[in-house]
C-alpha cells in the first residue's frame, strides 16, 4: 500500500502506511505517546483515535494533558447520563448528546423530567462511574443500525443525514449501554472524576421550532472535584451577574411577550446607558474622519438580491408584501451605505470615504434561541463602512483596530482576537478570498497582535477579524469586528476615478466598535455586575437628606451637580437614613451624598461611595470638580475616596 503523509503541529511531516489511524500515527512518533493517546484533532476536527488518516491531513495527538481532553471527557459523561437515565426511565428515547464549552447536554423525549429528578440520576451516574466500564467502539452496517433504531426515528434521522454516505456506522458501548456515536471517548467511565447535572430546559429537534419539543438536560464534568467546585462557584457568580436579573433589578430593560419575543424595550435607566455609549462611539467616529448617515428600516428585496443577502439570509429575514412588492426589514446596514456611495462620482483623491450609523437591524432567530439581550430579533449595530483604495487597506484597518482597542481599554475588558476565514456559504472567487484573507493576516502579524484562526467563520462576503470581549469572569463574548469585502463593490458596480482617469473598484471595509449595542450592554452589565462607571451610570449621585429639615439644602446641592450635567437624584421619602443608604447601594449608584444638620450648617457634604467608604465635611466645590474629572476621564471605578 502506498504511503500517506500527515503534518504535525510543529510543521514536520510524518509518513505512514495508507489506512493508518490516529493511534497508529502516535505510536509511530513514540510508544509512550501511542499508549497515552485518547483522541486526535484532524484538520481541526476532534476525532476518535481509530479514525483513519488521509494524505495531507494536519494532525494533533490528544492525551489527557491536552486542552481537548476535557471535551472528550464530557462527551463520555453525556453517555454516562444517558445510561443512568435509561436505567431509571427505560421508556426514555435518546436523541443527541454532544459536549459543549461548559459541559454537555443530552436531548431526550418520551419521558417527564424536572429539576427534582436530577439528584436521583446523578446517584445512578456515580454508580456507573464507580463500576468503571470500558468504553469500547463497535460498528454495524448502516442497514443494521437503521433496524436497531426501528423505534427511535430521531436516531434514524441522524443516520439519514450525518451518516447518509457511510456504510459502516460506529457505536460506543459501556456495560449494558450502547449509543450511536462518532466519538471520541475516554477509555472507561472511571476516568470521569467529577460531574454535576445543572438544569433542564426545552429544545426543538434540529433547533427548528416546527419540530418536536424535546427535554434537554445540561451537565458538566471534570477530571477532579476541585475543578468542578471552581466551575460551580463561577457559575453561581455568573447567575448573580446575569444581565436579565440585573436588568429587572436596575430597571434597565424588559422583553414583553405581548410586544413580541426578542424585541427589547429600554426603560429610562437603560436608555441613559445606551445614550452614553452612543456618544462615546460617535466621538471616536468623528475624530477618525467618519461622516454620519442614516438608512431606513426596510428596503425592497431587490436591494437584498443585489447585495447577496437575499440568497444567503432570506430564511432569517422578516419579509412583507406592500402593493404587490416584496420588502424586507434590513438584516444589515451595508447595502444602504453602498447605495449612498454609489449616488456620487468619486476621485482617488476623495478616498477613503467613511460612513457610520447606529443602524437598527432585524434577524428572525428561532424563538428557542432568543436569550435576553444576547440574542434578539431587533438590535442596533454601531456600523461603519469605508470605501478605500487597495493601497489604503492596511492603514485604515490599523486605525480601526486602534479605535477598537481604545474601547477595550476604556471599559477594562480584555480582547480575544480571531481571524475568521471563508465560510461554506459565500460569494466571490477563490482569488478574491485568498487576497482578502492574506491582507487581514498581514495586518495582524505586522501589528504583533495575538490571534487564532476560526476556519469557515467569516461573513458570506468576506473574511473578518473578530474581537471577543473577555469579561471579569473570564468568559468571551462576540464584540467588534473588521471585515474586508471585495465582493459588494463588485455587485454594486462601485467605482472611483483613478490617477490614470480610468474607473477603479474600491474595497469596502465593514467595522463595528461594539458589535451591537444590545450584546455590548449585556457584556457591560455582567462585567461590572451592574456597577457601571460614573460616566455610564444611569444615576450618578444620590443625595440623602437625614430629615425633611435638610431637604431644601439637599435640593440645592443636587442642582449644583445637575448644572455640571450630572444625573442626580434626591431621596425625599420619609425613610430612615439607614434604609436610604441601603437602597442606594442596592441600586448600585456610584456616590451618595448624606446631608444632616451639621453639613447644612457648615455648607459641606458627607460623601459615601458604593464601596461603603465615607468622608465627612467635604467641600462641595472640590467634590463637584472631582466628579466632573472622573466622568470626563471615563474612569472605571469611583475614586474620590481612594
Contact by Cβ (8 Å): 136, 186: no
Task: Report, in this order, helix, strand and coil percent for the chain, each rounded to 5.
Answer: 40, 30, 35
Crossing angle for the helix pair 268-287 and 517-527, to the nearest 10 degrees: 110
Count helices and strands in the chain by DSSP H and E runs:
20, 32
Bridge partners for 286 per DSSP: none
CA–CA separation, 24 vs 13, rounded Å? 15
Cα–Cα distance measured from residue 182 to residue 172, given in angstroms and rounded to the nearest whole number: 8
Q: Is 510 annotated as a binding-site member? A: yes
**Pairing relationship of beta strands 452-454 and 414-420 according to DSSP bridges:** parallel
Q: Are strands 298-300 and 213-222 parallel, antiparallel or unpaired?
A: unpaired
CA distances from 406 to 414, 440, 628 (A): 11, 20, 21
Where does 419-533 have alpha helices with state H?
430-446, 488-491, 517-527
CA atoms within 13 A on the CB side of 553: 22
Cell of 73: 471527557
Rounded Cα distance, 529 and 588, in Å: 9
Residue-by-residue DSSP string for 384-432: EEEEE-GGGHHHHHHHHHHHHHHHHHHTT-EEEEEEE---SS--S-HHH
CB 263 within 8 A of CB 255: yes
CB 382 within 8 A of CB 358: yes
Q: DSSP H helical segments within 62-136, as ranges?
A: 69-88, 118-131
Burial class (CB in 10 A: 0-12, 13-18, 19+), 355: buried
Partners of 265 in the β-ladder: 254
The CB density around residue 490, as the number of other CB atoms within 10 Å, is 16
Any binding-site annotation on 297? no
List own/partner pairs for 597-606 with CB under 8 A and 24 or more apart.
Answer: 597/546, 597/549, 597/550, 599/550, 599/553, 600/550, 600/553, 605/557
Rounded CA separation 439/392 (Å): 11
Residue 561 CB-half CA count within 13 A: 28
Has 385 been labeled as part of a binding site? yes
Instruction: Give the separation between CA 597 and CA 592, rounded to whole angstroms.
Output: 17
Asked if residue 81 lies in contact with residue 125, where contact means CB atoms within 8 angstroms, the answer is: yes
The residues facing 108 across adjacent strands are 94, 215
- Alpha-carbon distance of 617 to 592, in angstroms, equals 14
Which residues fall in the annotated binding site? 334, 385, 510
Which residues fall in the annotated binding site for Zn(2+)? 334, 385, 510
Amino acid at each position: 500500500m502506498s504511503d500517506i503523509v500527515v503534518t504535525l503541529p510543529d510543521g514536520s511531516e510524518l509518513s505512514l502506511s495508507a489506512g493508518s489511524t490516529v493511534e497508529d500515527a502516535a505510536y509511530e512518533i513514540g510508544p509512550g505517546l501511542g499508549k497515552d493517546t485518547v483522541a486526535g484533532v484532524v484538520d481541526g476536527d476532534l476525532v476518535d483515535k481509530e479514525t483513519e488518516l488521509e494524505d495531507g491531513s494536519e494532525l494533533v495527538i490528544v492525551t489527557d494533558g491536552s486542552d481537548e481532553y476535557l471535551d472528550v471527557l464530557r462527551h463520555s459523561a453525556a453517555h454516562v447520563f444517558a445510561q443512568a437515565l435509561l436505567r431509571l426511565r427505560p421508556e426514555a428515547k435518546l436523541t443527541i448528546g454532544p459536549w459543549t464549552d461548559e459541559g454537555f447536554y443530552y436531548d431526550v423525549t418520551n419521558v417527564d423530567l424536572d429539576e427534582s429528578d436530577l439528584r436521583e440520576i446523578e446517584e445512578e451516574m456515580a454508580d456507573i462511574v464507580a463500576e468503571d466500564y470500558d468504553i469500547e467502539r463497535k460498528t454495524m452496517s448502516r442497514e443494521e443500525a437503521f433496524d436497531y433504531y426501528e423505534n427511535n426515528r430521531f436516531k434514524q434521522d441522524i443516520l439519514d443525514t450525518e451518516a447518509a454516505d457511510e456504510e459502516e456506522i460506529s457505536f460506543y458501548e459501556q456495560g449494558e449501554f450502547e449509543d450511536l456515536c462518532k466519538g471520541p471517548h475516554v477509555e472507561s467511565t472511571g476516568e470521569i472524576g467529577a460531574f454535576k447535572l445543572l438544569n433542564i430546559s426545552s429544545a426543538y429537534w434540529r433547533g427548528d421550532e416546527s419540530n418536536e419539543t424535546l427535554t434537554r438536560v445540561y451537565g458538566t464534568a471534570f477530571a477532579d472535584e476541585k475543578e468542578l467546585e471552581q466551575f460551580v462557584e463561577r457559575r453561581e457568580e455568573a447567575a448573580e451577574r446575569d444581565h436579565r436579573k440585573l436588568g429587572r433589578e436596575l430597571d434597565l430593560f424588559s422583553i414583553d411577550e405581548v410586544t413580541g419575543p426578542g424585541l427589547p424595550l429600554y426603560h429610562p435607566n437603560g436608555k441613559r446607558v445606551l445614550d452614553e455609549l452612543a456618544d462615546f462611539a460617535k466621538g471616536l467616529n468623528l475624530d477618525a474622519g467618519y461622516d454620519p448617515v442614516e438608512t431606513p428600516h426596510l428596503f425592497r428585496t431587490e436591494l437584498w438580491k443585489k447585495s447577496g443577502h437575499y440568497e444567503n439570509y432570506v430564511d432569517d429575514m422578516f419579509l412583507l408584501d406592500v402593493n404587490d412588492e416584496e420588502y424586507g426589514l434590513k438584516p444589515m446596514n451595508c447595502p444602504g451605505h453602498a447605495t449612498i456611495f454609489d449616488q456620487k462620482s468619486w476621485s482617488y483623491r476623495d478616498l477613503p470615504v467613511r460612513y457610520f450609523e447606529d443602524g437598527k437591524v432585524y434577524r428572525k432567530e428561532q424563538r428557542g434561541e432568543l436569550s435576553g439581550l444576547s440574542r434578539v430579533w431587533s438590535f442596533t449595530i454601531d456600523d461603519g463602512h469605508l470605501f478605500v483604495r487597495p493601497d489604503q487597506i492596511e492603514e485604515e484597518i490599523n486605525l480601526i483596530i486602534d479605535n477598537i482597542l481604545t474601547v477595550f481599554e476604556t471599559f477594562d475588558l480584555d480582547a480575544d482576537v480571531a481571524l475568521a476565514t471563508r465560510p461554506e456559504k459565500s460569494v466571490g472567487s477563490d482569488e478574491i478570498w485568498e487576497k482578502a484573507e492574506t491582507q487581514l493576516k498581514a495586518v495582524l502579524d505586522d501589528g504583533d497582535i495575538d490571534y487564532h484562526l476560526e476556519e469557515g467563520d467569516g461573513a458570506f462576503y468576506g473574511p473578518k477579524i473578530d474581537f471577543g470581549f473577555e469579561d471579569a469572569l473570564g468568559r468571551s463574548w462576540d464584540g467588534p469586528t473588521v471585515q474586508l469585502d471585495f465582493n459588494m463593490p463588485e455587485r454594486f458596480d462601485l467605482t472611483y476615478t483613478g490617477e490614470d482617469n480610468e474607473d477603479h473598484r474600491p474595497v469596502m471595509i465593514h467595522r463595528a466598535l461594539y458589535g451591537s449595542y444590545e450584546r455590548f450592554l449585556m457584556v457591560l452589565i455582567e462585567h461590572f455586575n451592574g456597577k457601571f462607571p460614573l460616566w455610564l451610570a444611569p444615576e450618578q449621585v444620590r443625595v440623602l437628606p437625614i430629615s425633611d429639615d435638610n431637604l431644601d439644602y439637599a435640593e440645592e446641592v443636587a442642582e449644583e451637580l445637575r448644572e455640571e450635567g450630572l444625573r442626580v437624584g434626591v431621596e425625599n421619602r420619609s425613610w430612615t437614613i439607614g434604609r436610604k443608604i441601603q437602597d442606594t447601594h442596592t441600586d448600585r449608584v456610584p456616590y451618595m451624598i448624606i446631608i444632616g444638620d451639621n453639613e447644612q450648617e457648615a455648607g459641606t457634604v458627607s460623601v459615601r461611595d458604593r464601596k461603603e467608604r465615607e468622608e465627612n465635611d467635604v467641600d462641595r466645590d472640590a467634590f463637584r470638580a472631582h466628579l466632573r474629572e472622573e466622568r470626563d476621564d471615563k474612569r472605571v471605578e469611583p475614586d474620590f475616596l481612594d
